Homo-oligomer: A and B are copies of this chain.
Amino acid sequence: MSSRAGAAQDQGNPVRRDRPVRGARTHTFAMTIEEAKVTVARGKDFKVWAYQGQVPGPLIRVRQGDTIDATLTNHTTGSHTIHWHGIRQHGTWRMDGTPGINSQDVPPKGTTNYRFVADREGSLWYHCHVDVPNHVGVRGMWGPLIVDPLKPLPIEKEVTKDAILMFSGWASKAADDYFAMPEPTGSFDYYSINGKSFPYNQPIRVRYGDVLRLRLYAVSIPVSFHLHGHDMLITHIDGLAIPNPYYSDTVRVDLGKRVDVIVRMDNPGRWPAHDHDEHHTHNAGMPPGGVMLIVEYDEVGRDDPWYMWRRKEFDPDFYFIESMKKGHGLIPQSGFRATPLASSAAELTQSASASASASASAKEGEHK
């Protein structure tokens, strides 16, 4: 109880540049933006501007107090930035990435550097802050930024599987043309988790006794996330521990916000988890689709002949669970790699090597 009150107190006092954290490190990496397309549902491609060539963008994970030193190169035909949502940018306001307000955008072929302390803990994210309804709304310009807290809650230390789910919408009308529509978020007809619509996405596989953390991100659609068979303990909102965690069977995540829940996996079965906004559970009108997945306990098997995912080709890192075991730095993920567009082939050659060096930097930056 006192530790919780302490944690709440800390939230008003983030780490400050002039009082460095013992053991803090600097993570230096190169980032790119690529023109590419992603397949959101079967046969349904969307043009994106992809950080590091992938959607979602690569996981960036550091410890509170660490410094991030990211060099961004823009290989696309549009202007962009990175805004680090949730970082206070204490004393470094020009690194906030909002063009025309506290910084300038990065033009095609341009490069810029972002250097700042991860002053505040939790489930943060990064995204472009140019023409946000288009770039964040339907161009996949977003990725997770996890800042491990200096003082985690006891229950956080029990977590055995740490998953990231980013919810977004897609507009078919804007799929093929980067500038088709001035405001595409009002025309969503596909909905996804980590860029893929059900059943084109993946299960979360667990065992009895696992303690599953779900970091829920409302990127471009809000969700009412319902997990069958369990109540979820809501522990963090916008990455910050709340004073009074409570259980719910359906968790609301409003736009731009993040909610972390922790679930004790004590009930073997196959359990759907989905948005209870039914408007988000179809693919262009065909249900089931959109924001849905299945949580599979190993104990019950997948053999029922009517089970829709009995032959699913499994990607254990689709929810970043494997990436979250890889320590700190920038963690690229081949499973999210988008298909490069021919028009930017030349740049992509460069970006591939940039990615490689980013990966190297990431490894260098790890600290255990």
Residues of A participating in the B interface, judged by any CB pair closer than 8 Å: 8, 11-12, 14, 83, 85-86, 88-91, 93-94, 96, 98, 100-102, 104, 120, 131-134, 136-137, 181-183, 185-186, 218, 220, 222, 224, 226, 228-231, 233, 237-240, 242-250, 252, 254-257, 264, 266-272, 275-279, 281-282, 285-288, 294, 300, 306-308
Contacts and interface: CB of A to CB of B under 8 A. Distances in A.
Contact of A267 (B85, B91, B183, B220): B91
A133 B229 contact: no
A47 to B, nearest CB: 18
A182 B288 CA distance: 11
A247 B12 contact: yes
Contacts of A300: 93
A88 B240 contact: no
Contacts of A133: 278-279, 281-282, 287
A178 to B, nearest CB: 14
A100 B131 CA distance: 41
A272 to B, nearest CB: 5
Nearest to A276: B256
A288 B132 contact: yes
B88 A229 contact: yes
16 contacts: A90-B267, A96-B271, A100-B307, A101-B308, A132-B278, A133-B287, A134-B287, A181-B285, A182-B286, A224-B256, A231-B238, A240-B246, A243-B244, A243-B245, A250-B255, A255-B275
A231 B137 contact: no
Given A133-B278, A279-B183, A287-B131, A93 B271 contact: yes
Given A100-B307, A220-B278, A231-B88, A257 B267 contact: no
A244 B244 contact: yes
Given A183-B282, A224-B256, A88 B250 contact: no
A287 to B, nearest CB: 5
A329 B237 CA distance: 38
B229 A237 contact: no
Nearest to A274: B132
